[in-house]
Structure 1
Amino acid sequence: MKFKMIHENYNVKDLEKSLSFYNEALGLIEKRRKVAGDGSYIIVYLGDSQSDFELELTWLKDFDRPYDLGDCEFHLAFQTDNYEEAFKKHKEMGCVCFENPSMGIYFIEDPDGYWLEVVPTR
């Protein structure tokens, strides 16, 4: 028996703001979306040109508060072929939330508080 990872879900408060962030910060683009017939939710799948893995963003119409992310001890990691350029871009965007120079990594934070790790190609 084999398993393949296909997506990870993040619930978001402002879908358009999140779509814009993920496109600008990480180059992710919308692959497809599902809209509930009654308008109660929208699910958008984002991807890159490097893999089949997708980030699923779910917007819930009736959710009226920020999501409780606990201690934020989870993250999705992205590898970049130009670490210095990516770091500069994310600094300019104001989304770098944690740096660990000794490990050669840093984290950015999306509009809902999810942390995303950025690592260089090694």
Structure 2
Amino acid sequence: MSRHFDQAQGLTEEHDPATHEFVFNQTMLRIKDPERALKFYTSVLGMTLIKRLDFDEMKFTLYFLACIPPERLIDWSNDDNQRIVQTFSRPAMLELTHNWGDESDDSVSYHSGNEQPKGFGHIGFAVPHIDDACERFESLGVEFKKKPNDGGMKGIAFIKDPDGYWIEIFTPDRLPDLLGGRL
């Protein structure tokens, strides 16, 4: 029996026991203006800042955000060291990196990865109801790259954060119908 749920060239069946407790922890995006980016991610997408780390000598700050339901906030420690352990133990966090001074440097901008040369593409958020979420994003003035009914792939949207990074928005329950012809 395969350890993979699908097939593709390059997969290995061997699962080294040394990797059994590995956790995919974070994706990092560079940001120009932390105030603008944090407002977007905490207000528009509802993320919670769980840890901020300032590196004075190297002049940068890291902001670690996660989607945490309000009732689960009590699970997080007020002890700084314990929260560092919690932060770096959990899956699926967003790390925003701010190099000090970028916010006032007009020559600084970041490549979204969707223009040439292409590379990084997007991060994704599952939402309960894509149409309701997109109506809310629109009312908040969020920039869309693609609305749910645009383009060839209906039912997913892409919004942009303040630095131009693309964020895919989708409703998991709708994906089987959307992707049905590709299964």
TM-score category, normalised to shorter length: 0.7 to 0.9
Measured against aligned partners, the alpha-carbon deviations of 1:94-121 in whole angstroms (never above 9, x if no partner) come to 2222124243000110000000000013
What does residue 111 of structure 1 align with? 162
Q: Aligned to 2:44, what secondary structure does the other structure show?
A: helix
Q: Which residue of 1 aligns with 2:111?
A: 68
For the residues of structure 1 that align with 2:134 and 2:172, how far apart are their CA atoms?
Answer: 13
Contact 2:52/2:64 (8 A) holds in 1: yes
Which amino acid counterpart does residue 42 of structure 1 have in structure 2? T
Matching residue's letter, 1:118:
I
Name the stretch that deviates more: 48-57 or 82-91: 48-57
The percentage of counterpart residues that share the same residue type is: 27
Residues 6-85 of structure 1: pairs in structure 2 closer than 5 A: 6-38=25-57, 40-49=59-68, 52-63=91-102, 64=105, 65-70=108-113, 71=115, 74-85=121-132
Please identify which structure carries the higher helix content. 2
Query: For residue 24 of structure 2, what is the amino acid of its counterpart?
Result: M
Provide the rounded CA distance (Å) in 2 between the counterparts of 1:114 and 1:93: 17
Structure 2: unaligned runs, 5 residues or longer:
1-18, 70-89, 174-183
Higher percent of residues as strand: 1
How many residue pairs get aligned? The number is 122
CA positional deviation for 1:52: 3.5
Structure 1 unaligned regions, length at least 5: none
Give the structure-2-normalised TM-score. 0.61
Cα distance in 2 for residues equivalent to 1:23 and 1:117: 17
